[in-house]
Amino acid sequence: MPAFLIPPLLWAQAATPPPPASPAVRNALLWLYLAGDTSLAIPGLIGALLTWAKIIGLVALVGWVGSWVATAVKERYVGVGRWYDYLGLLALVLIPLTVFVQVMQTEKWIRAVSIAGTPLASLMGYVAVVSLAIWALVGVWKTIGPFGRPADKLVLVGLGLALALGAGVGVAMVQLGLFTQIPGAPEATWRDGVVYGARLAVTYMGYVVLARILSLLVGELFSVRARRLYAIARVTLYESNRKMWAPWVVLIVFGMVLAFTHWFLQPPRAAEMGRLYVGTLTLLCSLLLTAMVTILTPISLPTDIQQQTIYTVVTKPVRRLEVIWGRMLGYMALVTVLVALFGGISLAYLWRTVMGEITRIEALAEKAKADGREREANQYSEQAEQLRSRMAARVPVKGSLSFLDSKGDPHAMGIDVGQEQSMKEPRSHIEGATAGAAIWRYGIVPDPFSPPNRPVMIDRRIDVAQFLPAGTVEGEQNRMLEVQAQIAAAEQEKSQQGVTPARASQLDAAIARQKADLDKAKASYESLAARADELAAAGKEDEAAALHAPPLKIEMTFNIYRTTKGEVGKPVYADIEISNNAVGSKFQDVFPVREYYTNRLIVKPDVLVGCLGSLRIDVRCMSPTQYLGMAESDLYLLAENGDFGWNYMKGLFGIWLQAMVLTAIGVFAGTFLSWPVALLTTIAFFIAGQLAFGFLIDFTRQAVLGGGPFESLIRLVTHDNQMSELAPTAGVVVAKTLDSLVMPIMSMLVYIVPNFQVLDVTNTVADGFAVDWRHMLGNTLLAFAYALPFSFAGYFILKNREVAA
Amino acid sequence: MRPTNQTKKMVYGIVIVALLVAMVPYTQRLNRIKVEKDLGEAAIGQIDSGSFMMKLFLLGGFRGIVANYLWIQAEDYKKNHDWDRLKATVDLITKLQPHFLSIWTFQGWNLAYNVSVEWDAPEDKYEWIKQGIKFVQEGVRNNKRSPDLMWDTAWFYYHKLGFSDESIILRRLFRDDEDEGFKTYTDAETGQDLVRNDNFQLGYGWFSNAVKLVDDGGTRLGGGTSADITYIDPTPQRKGRADDIAFRSMPSHAQTHYAAALEKMSMAGVEATFGEVAKNEWAKALREWEKFGQHKFLSHNVVMRDGKLVKDDVYLDDSTNPEKYKTLPENAQYWTDRWASQMNYRYWKERCQAEMTSDGVAARQMFYEGTKAYKTGDFATAAAKFRNGLDVWNENLKKFPTYREDDLNKKDTGLVVKRYVRVLRQLGEPVPDTLPFKDLLAAAEADNTVDPFDAIEMLGVGAGETSSAPPPSQPRAAEAPAAQPQPGQ
């Protein structure tokens, strides 16, 4: 799979002689391939949009064909015993039969048979698919005639063209020898090309239908009016308020839980109190809001339809899309108010409890110190410090981590000591008192996981101006050195051969300008430095410090793996060395590692001066026979300590996004289901997306231990474990056949069920790190990517439905 | 005629009221049975209204599913080293299943042993051990009839704090702990709440309570429950069965360790205690051993006596009383001897007897002071203290042959002899032929192990506060670059 993530690279690695095709054709084929293969996702915004379009297109295609076939059946154009109906029946029988044959072959019940070079199972599959396609085509064809508009006929033509295009692309890829490189088939015939092309064609067909749907939507979108949306939103808001007292119920439950938190949460260790409380409070907000939305949204439309109050709306000139969006807006207005209230209340609560705890612990530390209990005093002040640092929004600047092993050889990972740990970002270890080191590099550095002969560079530059602000001694000194470096680069470029006269004069002008800059920077640096020295000499340390850049803070969280106890009570020591190779300055320190605490190092900011964004930090373990473990996020420069309250609200915004997606689903379900079913559907979506999404992904990857639902059922009943192969009895084979039929359909769910987990950023907030704006923007886009299609689907259903029946 | 809406409502209302009324006598009957069989929640342990509310209103029948989910989550947190979330999750499980003993035992052990060991600094280890002990104490409050949980509490105080590699520091942290509730136990005899500064004392207190609970007939759900109840899935009770000899010996062990710990620097930076205090504690230890020795155990086998198959009464203390021992039937002799050896009863009893004498305490004090002088290079003092101590010790032990010949004692005394000989060597004096315990020298010379529970041995005489340095608060400067670039060069 990772190889597929970088197809252009694969493309470039042609092992076979380069195919005789022009670059334009190759590029066109590449894009057609990228746009057509659904098993492929490229990183970045374009890639995400493409994947989104593919999925929406496929869903649209299924919906479009499905609706026409349904009409065909309803109008008795198909399913009446004509020749094509027998084809449909054949497909219906052949599909399970094919899977059954396939399973019997894998279970070695029957030998694998090939007919004319094609395996029997594949052949049966082709026949089934073609029969089904013909049956569906006849149905659509016959119905579109009397019922369809000209545009629908055009779509049918488009589908034909898409099929031809797909087949053409498939065959062309085989002909040009590209096929073997991408889909990974050892040898490709034109038949493989056609089959693969057919797969691509389905995606292209999806695009055609998507285009048709977009054309239908455009008109509707332009007729949406804000005042009508507002009116419906207002009614929705009133309704949820009056009918269900929803906001009040939720608020009261929230207040109740807060009032009795001590029943649910024992007072934890002081150091982690903030994290636990923030985690619990955000979980509570999330549960209450999503529960409210899940219950409110799917009920409203069906009740309106059932009680016929919908007449009062649909008989007015209100667009159906406005009915949907208005509702969503109304609910989201409610959610917004509640999020603001929850945020305010919980922040006040956190302030009272956590800040109170900090004061308490600090008082204890003072007392312990006064009593001469040094160990306890240190412990208390460390805990207070931990708590305080979690109640902030820290912005970390992370480097790229690589290791030296005990012999001093470079590696991407350190030693695996075999400790059980989280696999999200596993720590690896360095051996104490050896050449082993962990190195964090800043700047444009090679990705340690890329092969050394073809390194992929990653940008981990430090924004030096952030640490050394202009107008401080170090800031000005840094500017001076930066300008100097620019001049040197320009002069080097000028001295190279082959510089055009125009470029040379351009460079001259730049150098002159930069020299002026340099003089200015130098002057301001010297005056600032002189003033700072004067103030320091006069004993005004505070004023002198104000002229300097703030100290550089480095935070570290390492873990310790002891092979011997060592001396009782003696910590493991680490050595840190910060090198600024651009100017050759260095900083070194030895500190005791405190496991599971944030180790802080405060360094004078000069070490960054003139580094041009590059820095290298080496950490070594000093204590022999002990190991120090780290992952990339375990050491970072602390850029700023943002406001916790603001960050907390950003965390709640993630919950707001979850509620929005859920609202879209609820309203969508309400458009065609009765309220109890709609309610269950929404709950199912929520559970699948929030609790079971990881499981769904495993499902798609066929990585579920113990097989699909039917096989699992057998294991459950027979008390068999998940690992052992089941004996191929008739029951097992039938179960596996059923699984093979059900699993592909169920694994499609992963494309439709929203990934609620990823929208939740409250863990970052609880850990005391700032939520990045880019991350929030990405999440917002993702939420809209889920919510909009659901609302549109709801619109189409509502539009084609007899609401007044 | 079809009933009108009004009539319907009235009928429903009456049915509801009738059902409620019918419930009253039934509930009363159930309550009566509960009281009879001692099955009420209050009988098992304290009622926690929060937990009760959560079970009743929020979860209902989903309690089991939620508890299962939380167990899985707790194990995940453990795997991911997210200890505080593990603790919070475990607390939630106890709210759901407060009378399920395994959660308290399993997770209390998890916190005190498995989590604490993952932390490097002794202060952090101590904090997690404390969390574990408090957790299992909460279990005791919720299950007042369980000797198991009480015993677990005692064991954590006694063993995890007292026998870890870092015990000398952990015990000091316990002594300095200002949380009085954590240092309180209820005296088993007087019922008074006592605050003590030594974890062995707490261990003693809780062990005694566990034994008392068993003596009072307290078994889990047992008291008052008539025999006609058969539990489908009876709660297993691990501790305090009738033949559990080790269980009964624990109060004596804890008290003995407390007395022994007094006479050395068993807490980093805290000087040893001798004199009347030490004598009293040894005397108390002896009383505890005698109490244990006079408890009636029944032999495992049955013998024919007076035409009936009976089990013999076995008292371990008879093994130290030759007159009485001789009068015992052969079977009782066998079990007395066997169990006394199994528990090393003779050694423990005699050790207490030997140590509680004025001579015993004085000798220990001289050994302690001699060792300190030896470690600080004051050899003249060391020689005098060692020599006097050995003489007094020798006189004292003449009355206690079992203890004298015991390996542990030989090792202790041998170490003093070894050091005395080394001091003499430093002073250039010959080893006197009259030196008592001279026979122990060879073995002591070969033995280089040190007592891990003595701070003087582990950390040295000045072993006071050794702690990790506080975090730096002042920024430190970078070293000057090798060649400071000059602008404009």
Contact A542/B at CB under 8 A:
no
Pairing assessment for the beta strands A599-603 and A437-446 based on DSSP bridges: unpaired
Contact B127, A270 (CB under 8 A): no
CA A250 to chain centre: 30
CB-based contact, A83 to chain B, within 8 Å: no
**Distant-in-sequence, close-in-space partners of B28: CB < 8 Å, separation ≥ 6:** none
User: Is B77 within 8 Å of B83 (Cβ atoms)?
Assistant: yes
Tell if the CB–CB gap between A604 and B54 is shorter than 8 Å.
Answer: no
Cβ of A732 under 8 Å from any chain B Cβ?
no
pLDDT in tens, A331-359: 999 999 999 999 999 999 999 888 888 99
A716 interface with B at CB cutoff 8 Å: no
Contact state of B478 with A603 under an 8 Å Cβ cutoff: yes
Residues A762 and A278 sit within 8 Å (Cβ to Cβ): yes
Q: Nearest Cα to B396, choosing from B373, B381, B408, B413?
A: B413
Q: How far is A700 from chain B (nearest CA, A)?
A: 23
Cβ contact (<8 Å) for A552 and B459? no
Contact A733, A103 (CB under 8 A): yes
pLDDT of residue B475: 52
Average the pLDDT over B154-170 and give the result: 94
Residues of chain A with pLDDT under 70: 1-21, 179-188, 264, 267, 803-805
- Cβ distance A266 to B91 less than 8 Å, yes or no, reads yes
Q: Name residues whose C-beta falls within 8 Å of residue A260's C-beta, 6 or more positions apart in sequence.
A: B50
| Band of pLDDT at residue B49, cut at 50, 70 and 90 | low
Contact flag B120-A606 (C-beta cutoff 8 Å): no
- Return the pLDDT at A179: 66
Whether residue A603 and residue B475 make contact (CB cut-off 8 A), yes or no, is: yes
Band (pLDDT 50/70/90 cuts) for residue B66 is confident
Name the minimum distance, in Å, from the CA of A337 to any CA of chain B. Answer: 26
Distance from the Cα of A177 to chain B's closest Cα (Å) equals 48
How far apart CA A34 and CA A757 sit, in angstroms, is: 28
Q: Write the DSSP symbol of residue A722.
A: S
Write down the pLDDT at residue B227: 52
Joined tokens for residue B35: 């009281």
Domain ranges of chain B: 5-37, 100-221+239-295, 365-458
| CB-based contacts of A789, cutoff 8 Å, min separation 6 | A56, A59
**Structure token pair of residue B371:** 């060792």
Is the CB of B88 less than 8 angstroms away from the CB of A610?
A: no
Flag whether pLDDT at B473 surpasses 60.
no
Q: Mark B274-289 as b/e (b = at least 16 C-beta within 10 Å).
A: beeebbebbbbbbebb
CB pairs under 8 A between A and B: 166
Contact flag B95-A559 (C-beta cutoff 8 Å): no
* pLDDT at residue B486 in the model: 42
At A442, list the tokens: 């800043």
Split at pLDDT 50, 70, 90, the class of B236 is: low
| Bridging pattern class, strands A585-592 and A626-630 | unpaired
Which chain A residue lies closest to B96 (C-alpha atoms)? A264
Q: Which of B95, B478, B482 sits opposite A604 (nearest CB)?
A: B478
Distance CA A330, CA A335 (A): 9
Residue in chain B lying closest to A600 (CA) = B471
Chain B: residue whose CA lies nearest to A576: B478
Residue B221 confidence (pLDDT):
45
Range 475-514 of A in CB contact (< 8 A) with B? 480-481, 484
List CB contacts (< 8 A) between B470 and chain A: 378, 381-382
At B339 the pLDDT is 94
| pLDDT confidence of residue A244 | 75
Q: Per the CB < 8 Å rule, is B87 touching A264?
A: no
pLDDT at position B235 is 58
Chosen from A258, A376, A638 to mutate, greatest number of chain B CBs within 10 A? A376
Q: Residue B120 is nearest to which of A571, A580, A586, comparing CB atoms?
A: A571
Say if the Cβ atoms of B123 and A376 lie within 8 Å. yes
Inter-chain touch B483–A264, beta carbons under 8 Å? no
Q: Categorize the per-residue pLDDT at B97 as very low, low, confident or very high, splitting at 50, 70 and 90.
A: confident
Give B-chain residues touching A559 at CB under 8 angstroms. 81
Q: List pLDDT tens digits, range A255-298.
A: 988 888 777 677 678 888 888 889 889 989 999 999 999 999 99
Q: Do A596 and B83 touch (CB under 8 A)?
A: yes
Burial of B212 (0-12, 13-18, 19+ CB in 10 A): middle
With cut-offs at 50, 70 and 90, classify the pLDDT of residue B471: very low
Is the Cβ of A517 closer than 8 Å to some Cβ of chain B? no
pLDDT digits (tens, 9 = 90+) for B198-225: 999 999 999 999 999 888 865 554 444 4
For residue B481, is pLDDT > 70?
Answer: no
pLDDT of residue A15: 44
**Chain B residues touching residue A420 (CB < 8 angstroms):** 79
Maximum mean pLDDT: which of A79-88, B140-149, B319-328? B319-328
pLDDT tens digits along B358-398: 999 999 999 999 999 999 999 999 999 999 999 999 999 99
> Count of alpha carbons within 13 Å of A529, Cβ hemisphere only?
12
Question: What pLDDT does residue A329 have?
Answer: 95
pLDDT of residue A543: 87
